[in-house]
Each structure stands twice: as C-alpha cells, then as structure tokens.
Amino acid sequence: MIDTAGIRKRGKVYENTEKYAVMRALRAIDRSDVVLVVLNAEEGIREQDKKVAGYAHEAGRGIIIVVNKWDTLDKDNHTMSDFENIVRAEFQYLDYAPIVFVSALTKQRLKNLPQMIIQVAENQTRRIQSSVLNDVLMDAIAVTPTPTVNGKRLRVYYMTQVAVKPPTFVVFVNDPDLLHFSYERFLINQLRRTFDFEGTPVHLIARHRK
C-alpha cells in the first residue's frame, strides 16, 4: 500500500512542493493495481483531483472513489445522492468506479474498503472464455444491430480477450473505421452488464479480419 501526500489548494504551499506531491502521486499510480482517489468532502472536487483520476484511468488501473471527511458535513436524506451525482458529473469517464463515503477520523465505513479493493483487483484480472464472449456479442447485435456508415454496414465476426489489468478485448470486424465510438460504448456496456467489471476500465480494440 502506498499513501501519497495530500494535494492541496494552490497558494497554501510553495508551488514546487505542490508539483512534487503531484509527481509522487503519479509515480505511485504507475506502481499500483488499484488506486483510491480520495476526495475531500469539505472542499469538493478540484482540478488536481481530476488530473490524478484521469491519469489512473488512462493507465488502466482499478479505481475506487473515496470521499473522506464525510462526518464534517451537515446532511439530510439527499446529501449523499446529491454528492454522488456531482462526482458522476465531474468524472463521467469513471462511471465504472464505485464511490464510498468515509471518515478517517470516526472510522466510518473504513472497514468496507479492504473487501472493495480485493474485489476490484479480482475484476481487473478476470478472464472470459471466447465462446462465452461471442454468445454475449451475438445477443448484443441481435438487440442493437450494427450501424451503417455511408451505405456500408459494420460487420462484427467475433471477439476474444487478449489481456488483463485492465481487461482488454479485440473484436474482429470488416472495417475498424465503421466501429463508431457510440457502438463501441454499447458493446463495452454489454460486457459490463454480463460480467463483473466494477472498478476497472474495459478496453475494446477493433481489428480487420483478414
């Protein structure tokens, strides 16, 4: 486990110290399997939080969003859902990452973190048999047919998993340029609905079938 220095608001510390803290956080991400992106409930989401989270996402790491100092807020029945909506809006690319609200001071929900970390680590290394993958693929195409671009229809032949950390799949098609981002997103969502990939990015690569 690596605990990096807190990244604070600019102006509270010297700029070179702040830069060092960010660089140390990024180096820690490079060494990690699962990253806990810790947000401060009192201060909300800052640009540095987005930078670190984006780096972890691009690096393909498992991610859990941890909102700390939850005990310091005045809350009602909607506070948690409202804060979660803000997090989802600011980190739209992390829609797969679970969110947990904790207090390091009172230990609230801290006991939930170890099992969450283990589960995300397992999801990062999950492998799916090609036969099962292609059953899911065919069902997805039956529900939502492949798109047509300039009169040419995308044809999807089969899918196979080629890597873990993060789970990475290759889908063989007649023309990779016809696989629009929206349909790629649709296929990834079908994989997520069928298999437990909570906490991990899923990569999909289109290749021409020769």
Average pLDDT value for the chain: 91
Answer yes or no: pTM beyond 0.85: yes
Q: Specify whether 174 is located in the same domain as 112.
A: no
Confidence check: pLDDT of 8 > 90: no
Q: What is the pLDDT of residue 107?
A: 93
Report if residue 7 sits inside a domain: no
* 22 closest CA partner among 39, 36, 40, 8: 8
Report if residue 9 sits inside a domain: no
Q: What is the pLDDT of residue 94?
A: 96
71 contacts 99 by C-beta, under 8 angstroms:
no
Which pLDDT band, with edges at 50, 70 and 90, does 19 fall under? confident
Tell me the pLDDT tens digit for each residue of 34-62.
999 999 999 989 888 898 899 999 999 99
Task: Name the domain boundary from 100, 124, 148.
Answer: 124
Q: Specify whether 116 is located in the same domain as 166.
A: no
Report if residue 2 sits inside a domain: no
Least confident segment among 13-17, 28-32, 127-131, 137-141: 13-17
Q: Specify whether 134 is located in the same domain as 120.
A: no
Q: Specify whether 106 is located in the same domain as 21.
A: yes
Q: Specify whether 135 is located in the same domain as 120.
A: no
Q: Specify whether 81 is located in the same domain as 169.
A: no
Confidence check: pLDDT of 17 > 80: no
Report if residue 1 sits inside a domain: no
Structural domain span for residue 144: 130-208
What is the 3 state secondary structure string of 27-45? HHHHCCCEEEEEEECCCEC
Q: What is the pLDDT of residue 48?
A: 84
120: domain CATH number is 3.40.50.300
Confidence check: pLDDT of 14 > 60: no
For the chain, give the percent of residues with pLDDT over 70.
93
Q: Specify whether 24 is located in the same domain as 106.
A: yes
Report if residue 28 sits inside a domain: yes
Confidence check: pLDDT of 196 > 80: yes
Q: What is the pLDDT of residue 69?
A: 94
What is the 3 state secondary structure string of 88-130? HHHCHHHCCCCEEECCCCCCCCHHHHHHHHHHHHHHHCCCCCH
Confidence check: pLDDT of 29 > 90: yes
* Helix axes 47-58 and 15-30, enclosed angle (nearest 10): 20
Report if residue 93 sits inside a domain: yes
Q: What is the pLDDT of residue 7?
A: 62
Residue for token digits 């789970």? 167
Q: What is the pLDDT of residue 5?
A: 67
Q: Specify whether 160 is located in the same domain as 202.
A: yes
Q: Specify whether 25 is located in the same domain as 114.
A: yes
Report if residue 24 sits inside a domain: yes
